[in-house]
């Protein structure tokens, strides 16, 4: 099976890369917040409450929360945005046609703290290299055809 994006998919891949970079940053920030929330919840037995009787933002035992439980909101938001991150990872895998192992490696970006920030730079650089190879192949295939047409 050929690897690299098809020439006609290059504009879509570039658009996906821009969305992926934003998704990787947001997923990474939410994952760091999730790690902090887990330290509070399982290390100290408190959740983050927003707008409750203890102030705008307070650390409160889960059974005493009367307002918005920001910890639960953080879990849900990270979960759904990780699904978006995985979806973009899948679309890039399908269009760029890299290995399934690389797809799984990239998928860990929303699970391992700080890895999505690394991938936010690494994946676009890798895919831009694949796009350059595709464009060079297309130029090499297109050049002889135009030379033959001139004769």
75 phi, psi to nearest 5 deg: -60, -50
Q: How far apart are the first and last CA of the chain?
A: 35
- Give the CA count within 13 Å in the CB-facing half-sphere of 37: 20
Contact at 8 Å (CB) between 110 and 27? yes
| Prediction pTM value | 0.79
pLDDT (tens, 9 = 90+) of the chain, 151 residues, equals: 567 778 888 889 899 999 999 998 999 999 999 999 999 999 999 999 999 888 899 999 999 989 999 999 999 999 999 999 999 999 988 888 888 998 898 888 888 988 888 888 888 888 888 888 888 888 887 755 444 444 4
Q: Any idea where the domains of the chain sit in the sequence? A: 7-138
Q: For residues 82 and 24, what is the distance between their CA atoms, to the nearest angstrom?
A: 9
Which three-class secondary structure state does DSSP give residue 23?
Answer: helix
């Amino acid at each position: 099976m050929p690897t690299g994006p098809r020439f006609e998919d290059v504009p879509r891949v570039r658009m996906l890369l821009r969305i992926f970079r934003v998704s990787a940053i947001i997923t990474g920030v939410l994952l760091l917040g999730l790690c902090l929330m887990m330290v509070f919840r399982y290390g100290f037995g408190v959740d983050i409450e927003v707008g409750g009787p203890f102030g705008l933002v307070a650390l409160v035992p889960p059974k005493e929360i009367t307002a918005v439980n920001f910890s639960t909101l953080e879990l849900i938001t990270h979960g759904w945005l990780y699904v978006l991150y995985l979806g973009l990872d899948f679309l890039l895998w399908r269009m760029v046609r890299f290995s399934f192992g690389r797809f799984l490696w990239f998928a860990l970006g929303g699970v391992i703290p700080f890895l999505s920030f690394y991938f936010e730079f690494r994946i676009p650089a890798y895919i831009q290299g694949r796009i350059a190879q595709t464009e060079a192949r297309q130029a090499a295939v297109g050049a002889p055809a135009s030379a033959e047409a001139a004769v």
